[in-house]
Amino acid sequence: MADTNEVIRPLFNFPPDIWGDRFLSLPFNKSEFELYSKQVEALKETVKDMLMVSESDPLEKIYLINSLYRLGVSYHFENEIENQLSQLFITVPPLLDDKECDLHIVAITFQVFRLHGFKMPCGVFSKFQDGDGKFKESMIANIKGMISLYEASYFKMKGEVILDEALAFTTKHLGSLANQSSLHFREYIENALFRPYHHSMQRYEARQYIYFYEKDESKNDVLLKFAKYDFNLVQLLYQQELCVLTSWYKELSLKSKLPYARHRIVESLFYSLGVYFEPRYAVGRNILAKLTCLIGFVDDAYEAYGLYEELQYFTDAMLRFDITAMDELPADYQKILYEIMLNVHDEVENQVRKEGRSFSVSYAENEFKKFAKAHQVEAQWKHEGHMPTFDEYLENGAYTVASLLAMTQIMIGME
């Protein structure tokens, strides 16, 4: 006879983790790591000398800074680049009025300054417009210029009509230009149209740009070699970070303890790399990946597994964020999740205490409380059959979307 008391839960049956245990023991080639490290340090000094030489053409230096960023190695020279650009912002803009400065030069310069926070005026592009405020058709033949103008247009601010025109103009013509161009330019154009580089993950875009830069006739072989060694070196570091995280995840038996939830530790690390990819942020990535998993666990507890009658108890416990609240939780899965929540936050607090940043964890905890409370509101709406107004949903959704929570978690790992 069927058990009439069987609890029916709203299971979502999420797709399983596709990675399994493949990252638990990635091989680490020490000799390869030492080779890359040695090459990076040697080439780093050479590139630094290129950056700091005072007699170089200001526009050439802009090109160099742009290449360093696009190749993913500018993080080695953050202070030097900032100092150089402070000086170049005085000397370079007047040079752009020269007739010899074509669209490509002007657009690259505009990108570099805007990317680094300088208020480069968009009026520098007006010389490429006709009397009606439209971009001259003669610009279309300048493929490099069109690509650079397209990329520059995404640095626009509200009210900059000329950049709106630039985006429309370049988008209209780049598709056909791609079909008429060499394979190298076609691939670059298609990649740019798919996603502007500063809208993507820096490390992913660096890998893409290394591929394109290698085929550029004007490439600097020293920069290319430096970028390749650096990319490979940092990849080895990421692999070790992934081993550490997957081992941590497995040791806690999270898949068996929380079978209803999404298990995405690998994806969480990938997300963390999008926030800060630099090697010095290894601890920050470790912390952010763990806390991101917690967001998923709690979200799934409310939306994919928990019963309304249980969830208020869990919300009350989340608002207390204290181990003494665990005994009041009615379901075992809630007790397991709550204990994991508290333990991970304690672990994170200990990780950052020696840098004097343990205070930052409390901000993330407070946002987690708001996250849980907002999910409880949605659970109540569903239980009562209430259809929220747009304003009600928007106000509550500001917390359930976890953007504010994510920002506080990110700040924990920042220097």
Tens of pLDDT, residues 115-164? 999 999 999 999 999 988 899 999 999 999 999 999 999 999 999 999 99
Helix (H, G, I), strand (E, B) or coil at 119: coil
Residue 129: strand pairing partners:
135
Entry pTM: 0.91
How far apart are the C-alpha atoms of 257 and 333, rounded to whole Å?
7
Range 184-212 average pLDDT: 92
Percentage, residues of the chain above pLDDT 90: 85
Count CB neighbours of 194 within 10 A. 8
Q: Return the closest-CA partner of residue 59 out of 24, 83, 84, 34.
A: 84
pLDDT at residue 12, as a whole number: 76
How far apart are the C-alpha atoms of 407 and 284, rounded to whole Å?
13
Range 391-414 average pLDDT: 96
Q: Position of tokens 């230009």?
A: 177
How far apart are the C-alpha atoms of 238 and 196, rounded to whole Å?
25
Q: Position of tokens 């060499």?
A: 182
210-259 confidence digits (pLDDT tens)? 999 999 888 999 999 999 999 999 999 999 999 999 999 999 999 999 99
Are the CB atoms for 95 and 59 separated by under 8 Å?
Answer: yes
